[in-house]
């Protein structure tokens, strides 16, 4: 699986090189580029990198929980924060979005893992990483931080 993911990452490196360095974007790739990514590396590069790192370094269930928290927690924060979030509490983060992310992260944790302490540490860690990170790409930072914290907690228990 890691070999295939690494091959996929290299394919995306090539597409990003063509898009950013050579100013050539295949039409199908252009559909998936968000406006804020038009002049910078796409989030898919960071998420694939995080996937490879977490699967290679951490326990499989910890890695899966971290990747799912990053995916669905971020989605919940964006949807709820945009729709219902009016109270900002840190940079551009809303209370509603952050609470939604934490709730989804906890749900994911309880579906994938069986140790409540690991779940709590990972869910809060993923949520805090999402809140605090602005310049670094959250698609890389959140899953790696959550998995690291989960693995450390598991080892300490």
Residue range 76-108, pLDDT digits in tens: 999 999 999 888 888 889 999 999 999 999 999
Dist CA 131 CA 90 (whole Å)? 7
DSSP structural state of residue 70: I
- Give the residue carrying structure tokens 């996937």: 51
Helix or strand run (H / E) with residue 93: strand 93-94
Contacts of 51 (CB under 8 A, 6+ apart): 5, 67, 143
In angstroms, the CA 70 to CA 89 distance is: 21
pLDDT tens for 114-153 read: 999 999 999 999 999 999 998 899 999 999 999 999 999 9
pTM of the model: 0.91
């Amino acid at each position: 699986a890691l070999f295939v993911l690494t091959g996929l990452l290299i394919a995306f490196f090539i597409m990003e090189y063509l898009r950013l360095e050579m100013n050539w974007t295949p039409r199908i790739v252009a559909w998936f580029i968000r406006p804020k990514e038009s002049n910078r590396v796409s989030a898919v590069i960071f998420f694939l990198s995080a996937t490879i790192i977490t699967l290679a370094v951490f326990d499989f269930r910890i890695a899966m929980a971290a990747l799912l928290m990053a995916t669905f927690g971020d989605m919940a924060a964006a949807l709820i924060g945009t729709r219902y979030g009016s109270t900002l509490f840190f940079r551009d983060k809303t209370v509603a979005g952050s609470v939604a992310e934490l709730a989804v992260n906890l749900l994911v944790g309880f579906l994938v893992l069986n140790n409540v302490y690991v779940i709590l540490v990972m869910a809060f860690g993923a949520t805090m990483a999402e809140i605090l990170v602005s310049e670094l790409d959250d698609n890389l930072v959140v899953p790696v931080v959550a998995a690291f914290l989960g693995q450390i907690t598991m080892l300490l228990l």
